[in-house]
Amino acid sequence: MLSSLTARELRDKIAAGEITSRQATQEVLTAIDHLNPQLHAYNSIFPQRAIEQAEKIDAAIKRGEKPGLLAGVPIYIKDNMCTNWGATTCSSKMLENFHAPYNATVVEKLQAAGAVIVGKTNLDEFAMGSSTENSAFGPSKNPWNTKCVPGGSSGGAAAATAARLAFGGLGSDTGGSIRQPASLCGIVGLKPTYGLVSRYGLVAFASSLDQIGPMTQTVEDAALFLQVIAGHDEKDSTSWPDAIPDYLAELKTPMTGLRIGIPREYFDVEGMEPEVKAAVQGAIDWYKSHGATLVDVSLPHTKYGIAAYYIIAPAEASSNLARYDGVHYGHRTHTPQDLYDLYAASRGEGFGAEVKRRIMLGTYALSAGYADKFYLQALKVRALIKKDFDDAFQKCDVIACPTSPSVAFEFGSKGDDPLQMYLCDVFTVTCNIAGIPGLSLPCGFSRNLPIGLQLLGPTFSEKTLLRVAQQYESAHEWSKKKPGVCA
């Protein structure tokens, strides 16, 4: 079974001619056929195209060519990244039949690196949610316990990685949508610094917060994927212009003089499960026992993070989603009475309840007489949260804390209370607000469900984050555990 290999190991075996990309791709497609009806990790699968791509890679290797860093590796992308093949739905009826005329920059980079894209994964509609219950096409399920959510919004991506239905892939993170499902599904998820990875071709939710990043089985694979997708893109005006470092070169070099910041605000949160706190504390203690210095840091404006996020993100969503009006593209109602009815009915039929809720919240926050009171105040809080992190990183190299206050919860347990659902992101939203990188990796289990450790760093410190995470991962077996559905 090739599923026991990491993406890097598989790539090396394909390059050495020990196995073919076609074999690996066929094994992944067979696993998808077997498990996707149960997990609904994928919205769409491209078996014929994937096999053709794999055969091209195999032929290139036989000719002695070096087709790229991910040559022959079967992967996925989240279904909110544009491709000029297949549909790009964002798990919404609004875009159910939308076919993009171009590829996202990250898709172009993956293809140039030789990756074989087998399908697009399920998500909360337009990436708005923490459980994948908001998908218009039905929820994804957690491979560790199918009665539980896989997290969101990149829940399908996390489930696909955990169940070995690909060798990793790409998710997007606006307020924790890579890291929270990574925590709940026991995989590695990295939200890069804002601007490090191009957003061109990512369907926008909240443009100042969105970022694409890898979701993988191991830290090394996350570094490998980041190496492929990071870098300047002239098509994205927010793209960072500097050259990127070699994330793999020193990945396994031990850290010396490591200072880990412990934010008290992230450990005294109402509703955090004791087992989560204990597992994260255990990981921190491990770092201390291996030479790290623990430093108490304070992030005093953390308590305003959720409130600020749920003003800024819906405000930007309200603006971004105004383009879906039933005229230009997307869902269009069949029997409009007039132009107003065309707009209203098309949007009413095309958008789900959570998307409508956030559009209304954002529209209200931006409306005349309220923008100063809500939106501009939230932007001021954003600046204070960013300063909190800047001050903390004067004292430490990375910050360690939980990724999620709980392990995966059962379907329906939070759906009737949006505020309880929003609190699932209490440890992740400030990372996006500040634009810094964050990484989640497994650090334990509770009730046979994974627990995630979150590492946060200063802007463009991905190389350090990956090395620190690699230290812990290499000394533990968490990433090697497989959910029962893989048996």
Output the pLDDT for position 14. Answer: 97
pTM of the model: 0.97
Catalytic site positions: 78, 153, 177
pLDDT in tens, 328-387: 888 999 888 899 899 999 999 999 999 999 999 999 999 988 888 999 999 999 999 999
Q: 443 phi and psi, to 5 degrees?
A: -140, 10
- Rounded alpha-carbon distances, angstroms, from residue 296 to 101, 225, 229, 437: 50, 33, 34, 20
Q: What's the CA gap between 160 and 78, in Å, rounded? A: 11
Low-confidence residues in the chain, pLDDT < 70 = 1, 487
Output the pLDDT for position 66. Answer: 86
pLDDT in tens, 63-109: 999 889 999 999 999 999 999 999 999 999 999 999 999 999 999 99
Q: What's the CA gap between 75 and 67, in Å, rounded? A: 16
Instruction: Assign a CATH topology to domain 2-256+437-486.
Output: Amidase signature (AS) enzymes (3.90.1300)
- In terms of Cβ atoms closer than 10 Å to its own Cβ (0-12, 13-18, 19+), residue 241 is exposed
Task: For residue 216, give both structure tokens.
Answer: 């993988």
Pick from 127, 176, 131: nearest CA to 155:
131
Distance between start and end Cα atoms, the chain: 11
449 sits in the region (left: phi over 0; alpha: psi -120 to 50; else beta) called beta
- Rounded alpha-carbon distances, angstroms, from residue 433 to 199, 292, 361: 16, 28, 18
Q: What's the CA gap between 166 and 171, in Å, rounded? A: 13
Output the pLDDT for position 467. Answer: 97
